[in-house]
Structure 1
Amino acid sequence: MARRIFFFILTNIMILLTIGIVLSLITTLTGFEWYLTGDGINLLSLLIFSAIVGFTGAFMSLAMSRWMAKKMMGVHVLDPDGPLSPRERMIVEKVHRLSRAAGLTHMPEVGIYQSPEVNAFATGPTKKRSLVAVSTGLLDTMDDDAVEGVLAHEVAHIANGDMVTMTLLQGVINTFVVFLARVIAFAASRFVREDLQPVVHFIAIIVFQLLFSILGSIVVMAYSRYREFHADRGGADLAGKDKMIHALSSLKAYVNRVDDSQQALQTLKINNKQSLSKLFASHPDLDERIRRLEAR
């Protein structure tokens, strides 16, 4: 669910900031910025530079997504050939069966992580190196049919190649983030004394790059919401329309049961009805998702 997008965007921002800080430090120490000329900025050179940095950051984020998810969530990867509990065996078999039905030739890694929240996510750099993970809270809360619907939804994300297409989108956004941050930083540095210009330029790049990265995440979230409808349809094709609707209805019932403090968090993730939360929500409103499936 929201974890897949959260880890990708967080990793992307960290990598992009790290690259930006290193390059800005090198520039500050050496006094050399190859896209700057005596008359100002060579916009074409800066655009090429921004694209290289932006897509490098996006693809590095994609490459690290599965590793980051495992480390940050404490995912225990289940060995299909090793000793497993009946519940673990059931999860592995469901994911593998759904993956074969989706036409995947390499089975995703399957993992479980300890958390009371009702959640699941799929991530990974390619269809051959993917991960499907579910929380213990989801397994304890949902019945077998609802769990299958959730797993089918996550497998559909992998089969649809959503992480790769999101990476390409993130690369474009990163390009504009790097480009605009440096243009504005250059303009801001012209308003201070010449001896302070390198420092102001360095600080402005970091500040505006972080600000534009956060604003850019709104576009990524909008694309994520669009792809959720496709994953719902894919999940319905794999597990059956009734199971997919049942999974979403079970998720809605869970959201309605949580207390007020938890409700705010869950609303942001999967049931965004508030106007502000819609901008940063990775998933569309549950009622709308159920309505679209019922109308198929």
Structure 2
Amino acid sequence: MRIVLFLLTNLAIILVASVTLSLLGVGSTLQANGVDLDLGNLLIICAVFGFMGSFVSLLLSKFMAKRSTGLQMIEQASNADEQWLMDTVQELATEAGIGMPEVGIFPAEQANAFATGWNKNNALVGISLGLLQRFRREEIRAVLAHEIGHIANGDMVTLTLIQGVVNTFVMFFARIIGHFVDRVILKNEEGHGIGYFVASIVAELVLGILASTIVAWFSRRREFRADEMGARLAGNFAMIGALQRLKAEYEVPDQMPSTMTAFGISSHLKEGFMAAFATHPPLDDRIAALQK
């Protein structure tokens, strides 16, 4: 199912981007002489594909989240716990000044929760069955407040814009590198040969890995802001308690799909060089920030 969703998303991106470029009248990345790069056209093409990919993913985020996590939506509460969950989300959303999100429970032993959606008044909050079963209600409320904080702060849209900018410049500079390899190193004097495409792909992979650290840094910053919002809505003591409880849960395997990791309440700690790619700060740092 995840592979099918990935392919459908990319197909939608290519289709929408192609139509957009046609409407803009943007054609080749080469100038009329067939030798030099048309940097203006290249930047437009890279921006269209870079931002289109991010925004299509954002628009499909609720659909993708429901399918990838196996989220069971609560249309109408069937027991006291579900009623409390719906009432709590409604109360927090009202305090934060946003519309009531859709609410669902996903079948994971790991204690986690996420929020997603392109519109803060039509978002989605998911919470794991493990968190509901093991956490106290004041801790669950704090976790929900954190996720409501993400929605109220517009974090999903902000991260989408940042990802769009990063995508644009990764594609742009990768193709400049590919052009340089094709013209200067391989001495191809007309059009683009196989060297251009191979070098562009390799450069895009390398630059994409490096650029992902920028996105991860912004993601870590927004976690502190969501913790702050969670503390305002649910109380500082409750927010700290929820994070401390999450810290004690690291032995439970991470069951959140990789596409949803950045939107979860926490992720497993990365150490050393890999810490630069972490979407969440260490829980100790988040707890210390709230204690201050």
Q: TM-score, normalised by structure 2?
A: 0.81
Structure 1 position 137 matched with structure 2 position 93: no
Tell me, what secondary structure is at the counterpart of 2:111? coil
Among candidates 109, 126, 144, match of residue 151 of structure 1: 144
Structure 1 position 51 matched with structure 2 position 36: no
| Cα 1:66–1:207 shift into 2, 3 Å | farther
Letter in 2 for 1:128: N
1:162 match: 155
- What's the Cα RMSD here? 3.1
**For structure 1, which segment, 38-47 or 202-211, has the greater mean C-alpha deviation from structure 2 after superposition?**
202-211
**Mapped partners of 1:233, 1:283: distance in 2:** 14
**Mapped partners of 2:204, 2:59: distance in 1:** 22
Among candidates 112, 116, 135, match of residue 109 of structure 2: 116
1:62 match: 58
Among candidates 36, 39, 50, match of residue 40 of structure 1: 36
Deviations 1:176-217 (A, max 9, x none): 011012112222333176799543433443443344333322
Structure 1 segments unaligned to the other structure (5+ residues): 1-6, 24-31
Tell me, what secondary structure is at the counterpart of 2:117? strand
Letter in 2 for 1:55: F
CA contact (8 A) 1:96 1:107 kept: yes
| Cα 1:246–1:11 shift into 2, 3 Å | farther
Q: How many angstroms does 1:223 deviate by?
A: 0.3
After TM superposition, which residue ranges in structure 1, 4 or more long, deviate above 4 angstroms? Answer: 192-197
Among candidates 90, 93, 109, match of residue 96 of structure 1: 90
CA contact (8 A) 2:13 2:49 kept: no
Tell me, what secondary structure is at the counterpart of 2:57? helix
Deviations 1:38-90 (A, max 9, x none): 341122221222222211111111111111111111111111xx242222222
Deviations 1:241-265 (A, max 9, x none): 111011001111222x448x99xx9
Tell me, what secondary structure is at the counterpart of 1:133? strand
Structure 1 position 274 matched with structure 2 position 271: yes
Percent of pairs with identical residues? 42
Tell me, what secondary structure is at the counterpart of 1:112? strand
**Mapped partners of 1:16, 1:229: distance in 2:** 35
2:238 match: 243
1:71 match: 67
**For structure 1, which segment, 209-218 or 237-246, has the greater mean C-alpha deviation from structure 2 after superposition?**
209-218
Aligned length, in residue pairs: 268
Tell me, what secondary structure is at the counterpart of 1:129? coil
**For structure 1, which segment, 147-156 or 134-143, has the greater mean C-alpha deviation from structure 2 after superposition?**
134-143
Q: TM-score, normalised by structure 1?
A: 0.80
Deviations 1:4-55 (A, max 9, x none): xxx9xx979x7499749x97xxxxxxxx961212341122221222222211
Structure 2 segments unaligned to the other structure (5+ residues): 19-25
